[in-house]
Amino acid sequence: MFTGLMANTWIAASVVAVIAGMTGYFAVLRGQTFAAHAIPNGAFAGAAGASLIGVNVIVGLAVVAVAGALGIGALGSKARHDVITALTLVLMLGLGAVFVSMSTQYAQETYSLLFGQVTGVSQGEVAPIAGLGLAAALAIGVAFRPLMLTSALPEVAEARGVSTRKVDLYFLLVMAVATSMTVPVVGALLMFSLMIGPAAAARSVTARPGVALALSVAIALAITWLSIALFYRTNWPLGFFVGTGGALFYLVGLGARRLAVPRSLTRS
């Protein structure tokens, strides 16, 4: 299960897991999990559109994901952020429905965009996935402190000359880049599970921000590797393992924290 096409699968999926763990950590911290849901799922319209007009699917994903991120970022400050996010998602899903209906012969491809095609990663796809992954990781590393400051203390950040709006937009764009790289591999729905589950589990275990980030990445990798192995053995849908894996890790983390720290000690 580690040879040929499967080797590509392991590499691509591992890159995806690292990026999902990192971006998910900040998505959860910033309360932008809804955007983390909307961008990958909406971006599937871009992929559907691209395959309709014969353009590279990653290009289509990137264009629509970035457009969605810009829309959420630009309008989100004027109206309620969640409403704008929802409307962006609805608009993109609508477009996706049209594109898919126009190209019924691509039903299989549409399915794989939503649920991933983890065993179908070709040699040529590994390099761009790794490149985009590196770009997303660097983008997060460069903005690590401002991301932390604006997440935790937005008003103080403003007073110190860090624009919360600009950092918001920056992070949405990073999510868009991460999305265009990950969706062809794990699919839009699984990308969302992989971003939220590990990050939520990690923060319930540790109070240290750096450790929580590392743990989030580690859990995302563990879930991904376990899911691929189980998928390979059972041929059950990959999404089942990724989705339940994320929830399971979160519950275990929550339980561990309840046992380790009685509430009476933390609140006084």
Binding site for another protein (CB under 8 A): 29, 141-146, 148-149, 152-153, 155-162, 202-204, 206-209, 211-212, 266-268
Work out how close the CB of 155 gets to another protein at its nearest, in angstroms, rounded to a whole number. 4
Which is closer to another protein, CB of 174 or CB of 212? 212
Q: Are 80 and 175 in contact (CB under 8 A)?
A: no
- Please state, in angstroms and rounded to a whole number, the distance separating the CA atoms of residues 32 and 155: 17
Q: Which has the closest alpha carbon to 61: 46, 42, 40?
A: 46
Q: Are 86 and 38 in contact (CB under 8 A)?
A: yes
Work out how close the CB of 80 gets to another protein at its nearest, in angstroms, rounded to a whole number. 16
Which is closer to another protein, CB of 94 or CB of 141? 141
CB atoms within 10 A of CB 201: 26
For residue 127, CA distances in Å to 7, 101, 130, 160 come to: 13, 32, 5, 40
Work out how close the CB of 103 gets to another protein at its nearest, in angstroms, rounded to a whole number. 43
Which is closer to another protein, CB of 120 or CB of 209? 209
Work out how close the CB of 202 gets to another protein at its nearest, in angstroms, rounded to a whole number. 7
Which is closer to another protein, CB of 87 or CB of 148? 148
Which structure tokens are listed for 32?
Answer: 């932008």
Which is closer to another protein, CB of 80 or CB of 102? 80
Local structure of 207: helix, strand or coil: coil
Which is closer to another protein, CB of 131 or CB of 141? 141
Work out how close the CB of 129 gets to another protein at its nearest, in angstroms, rounded to a whole number. 25
Q: Which has the closest alpha carbon to 119: 268, 11, 34?
A: 11
- Please state, in angstroms and rounded to a whole number, the distance separating the CA atoms of residues 47 and 44: 5
Burial pattern 36-58, b for ≥16 Cβ within 10 A else e, equals bbbbbbbbbbbbbbbbeeeeebb
Strand ranges (E), 122-258? none
Which is closer to another protein, CB of 143 or CB of 218? 143
Work out how close the CB of 258 gets to another protein at its nearest, in angstroms, rounded to a whole number. 12
Residue 21 CB contacts under 8 Å (≥ 6 apart), including other chains: 194, 195, 198, 199, 213, 216, 217, 218, 219, 220, 221
Work out how close the CB of 255 gets to another protein at its nearest, in angstroms, rounded to a whole number. 14
